[in-house]
Chains A and B, each alone.
Chain A
Amino acid sequence: MKLFLKKTLVFLFILLAAALLLDVIYTAIISQSSERNKVENVIHSKNKKFDVVFMGTSRANNHFVPEIFEKKGYKAFNYGMSGSHMFETALMLKLMMANNYKIKNLIMEADLSICNEKRDEGTTARFMPYIHGNEIIKNHYKNESDFYQIYYIPFYRYIKFDNKIGFREMYDVITKKPTNTLYNKGYYPLLSNRKGKMNNDISTLKPIRNKYYEEIKRICKQNNIKLTVVMTPMCENTKGLEYFEKVNELYPEIHNFENVVSDDKYFSSCGHLNDEGAKIYTNFIFNKFFDDSKSNTKI
Chain B
Amino acid sequence: MFFNSLHFAAFLPIVFILYWFVFNKNKSWQNSILIVASYYFYACWDWRFLFLLVFSTLLDYFTGIMIEKNETISKRRFWFWLSIIVNLGFLGVFKYYNFFVTSFSDLLNGFGFKVNPLLIEVVLPVGISFYTFHGLSYVIDIYYKRIKAEYNFVDYSLFVSYFPLLVAGPIERATHLLPQVKVKREFSFEKAKEGVHQIIWGLVKKVVIADSCAMYANEVFNHQQDMNTLSLILGAVYFAFQIYGDFSGYSDIALGTSKLFGIDLLKNFNFPYFSRDIAEFWRRWHISLSSWFRDYLYIPLGGSKGGKWMQLRNTFIIFLVSGFWHGANWTFIAWGLINAIYFLPLLLLNKNRHNLEDIDFKWNAEGLKTIINIFLTFTITTFAWIFFRAKSITDAFAYIKNMFTNLKFDIQYLGNERYAPELLALVGVFIIFEWFHKYKNEPISGKYENVKLLFCIMAILALGVFSDYKEFIYFQF
Contact = CB atoms under 8 A, between A and B. Distances in A.
Interface of A: 1, 3-4, 7-8, 10-11, 14-15, 17-19, 22, 121, 155, 158-164, 166-168
* Chain B binding surface, main DSSP class: helix
A163 B467 contact: yes
Given A17-B454, A18-B454, A163-B468, 6 more contacts: A7-B196, A159-B461, A159-B464, A161-B467, A162-B467, A167-B463
A170 to B, nearest CB: 8
A294 B457 CA distance: 58
A7 B193 contact: yes
Interface string B224-235: 000000000000
Given A4-B189, A7-B193, A7-B196, A18 B466 contact: no
Contacts of A166: 462, 467
B461 A22 contact: yes
Contact of A22 (B20, B196, B458): B458
A22 B457 CA distance: 11
B466 A14 contact: no
B403 interface: no
A3 B467 CA distance: 35
Of B192, B453, B465, B467, the most chain A CB neighbours within 10 A belong to B467
Contact of A159 (B193, B453, B466): B466
Of A14, A18, A158, the most chain B CB neighbours within 10 A belong to A18
Contacts, number: 51
A4 B19 CA distance: 15
B197 to A, nearest CB: 10
Contacts of B187: 1, 4
A14 B448 CA distance: 13
A3 B457 contact: no
Contacts of A10: 450
Contacts of A121: 467
Given A18-B458, A22-B458, A1 B466 contact: no
Of B450, B457, B465, B468, the most chain A CB neighbours within 10 A belong to B457
A36 to B, nearest CB: 13
B449 to A, nearest CB: 10
A154 B424 CA distance: 30
A11 B260 CA distance: 15
B453 A167 contact: no
Contacts of B463: 167
A25 to B, nearest CB: 9
List 7 A-B pairs, minimum CB-CB distance, nearest first: A18-B457, A163-B467, A3-B189, A159-B466, A4-B192, A18-B458, A162-B467
Nearest to B188: A4
9 contacts: A3-B189, A4-B187, A19-B461, A22-B461, A22-B462, A159-B464, A159-B466, A160-B467, A168-B418
B462 A167 contact: yes
Given A3-B189, A162-B466, A155 B461 contact: yes
Contacts of A155: 461
A167 B423 CA distance: 13
Contact of B453 (A1, A14, A19, A158): A14
Nearest to A121: B467
Contacts of B20: 1
A23 to B, nearest CB: 9
Interface string B435-477: 0000000000000001001100110011111111000000000
